[in-house]
Chains A and B, each alone.
Chain A
């Protein structure tokens, strides 16, 4: 198939950036979106031009490294998929496709389609863990966890930290990302001792990074490759309210 691509090009953080148009022939419908970009880059190299920089790694939808805005949709038109798992058979011959980086102030563009998601790491540094030292763990089966609770925790824990939630949010909010980690640890007995400390710290950092607030639009869940639900946001809000009211006795 033949494609007309409009790709965001930006040489550095300081560069203002611009769109450039490319035509690409002989794209296999069986190739993935990133393999299509590989093809574009090989073509650019042949013309001795700088290839398009984009982040990617595992190419099986689990590392969270890739993430592109494709025609205004985070990770493209197929729900529940990352860009690396999006295949070109979902496009038509002759399609015009606009490719942009995540546009969130807290994810500055480094080059072309590559952004800096260090803000996500810093949010987790404010409590996205359980404090204990290696070696002190009790026997694993001494902590009993009802199956449905661990399943809910797992639903939240599947977050891959790709940033699509913030990218698709009209407010540029990282609420779903933050809520997912709070939800993961908050549903487990191991996470209880730091539950309220965690929510205060992580929410504070989320705001400090310059992410917008949540207005309950739900776009984050719609684009989330792991389809993490809005319930975790509700849970985080409740924990936060309890924490600030000092009602943490549970």
Chain B
């Protein structure tokens, strides 16, 4: 199955869904910022203690990371294979070409995806690997503080917001594609799916964006 073009798309849909789920959980956690420093740090810590005592300390987080990394790898692999197939399918381009359909989201899927990949590395460097240039001076062990200090750096904020735009575009096309690829889209549910994916593509970036904006405007300090 994975050898066929449709199989690869199914892989992209499945792994994409995992990442959408992750983004929703992540966004929920981020919004805890508004509940105050203590609640937020408590939440951050609970991620490590999740599932205890049945699961060892931090193991759930590791497991989640493994799933996410594998999903991302499969997503990227399938995308690259499809991109290569597309290039081979048209070795010689048109002298003049008019894109007959599709919006900005559609035509930016590949570059947008690559940009998001780079952002993830940057994001990890900032908040997981705690590269000092990015984090700035913060109180070690205080995740809330790391977040607030980080977002007082305008470079971080701008990159973060740009990445969110890319996330929105990626979700807009990817969300609709998810239903199409799995064959769930029909003439009857075309509008609801459009609405749902549109809502998702707006809600997720907005949900993430309020945090840095709140920090930048001093609402959260």
Interface residues of A (CB under 8 A from B): 6, 8, 19, 69, 71-74, 98, 100, 103-106, 168, 170-173, 175, 203-204, 206-207, 210-223, 229-231, 233-241, 244
Contacts and interface: CB of A to CB of B under 8 A. Distances in A.
B187 interface: yes
Given A223-B100, A234-B184, A241-B183, A213 B90 contact: no
A100 B182 CA distance: 35
Contact of B89 (A73, A171, A222, A239): A171
B106 A215 contact: yes
B95 interface: yes
A37 B100 CA distance: 24
A12 to B, nearest CB: 15
B96 A98 contact: yes
B186 A219 contact: no
B13 to A, nearest CB: 9
Contacts of B8: 213
Contacts of B181: 216, 237
A103 B5 contact: no
Contacts of A237: 6, 9-10, 180-183
B7 to A, nearest CB: 7
B89 A104 contact: yes
Given A171-B82, A219-B101, A241-B10, A235 B96 contact: no
B192 interface: no
5 contacts: A105-B91, A211-B89, A231-B187, A234-B180, A237-B10
Contacts of A106: 89
Contacts of B180: 216, 230, 233-234, 237
B186 A231 contact: yes
Contacts of B217: none
A239 B94 contact: no
Nearest to B79: A215
B86 A213 contact: yes
Given A19-B95, A100-B96, A213-B5, A173 B183 contact: no
A161 B198 CA distance: 34
Contact of A218 (B90, B97, B102, B182): B102
Main secondary structure of the interface of A (DSSP, over half): mixed
Given A69-B94, A105-B88, A207-B5, A215 B100 contact: no
A170 to B, nearest CB: 7
Nearest to A79: B100
A216 B89 contact: no
Interface string B8-25: 111000000000000000
Contacts of B107: 170, 217
A72 B91 contact: no
B93 A213 contact: no
A219 B94 CA distance: 15
B88 A215 contact: no
Given A71-B96, A203-B5, A234-B183, A212 B176 contact: no
Contacts of B106: 215-218
Contacts of B5: 173, 175, 203, 206-207, 211-214
Interface string B81-118: 01001101111111111111110001101000000000
A72 B96 contact: yes
Contacts of A204: 4
A100 B96 CA distance: 9
Given A100-B96, A212-B85, A217-B102, A238 B4 contact: no
B100 A212 contact: no
Nearest to B178: A216
Given A103-B90, A171-B89, A235 B183 contact: yes
Chain A to chain B: the 3 pairs with minimum beta-carbon distance, closest first: A238-B183, A172-B89, A213-B5
A241 B4 CA distance: 11
Contacts of A203: 4-6
A177 to B, nearest CB: 13
B48 interface: no
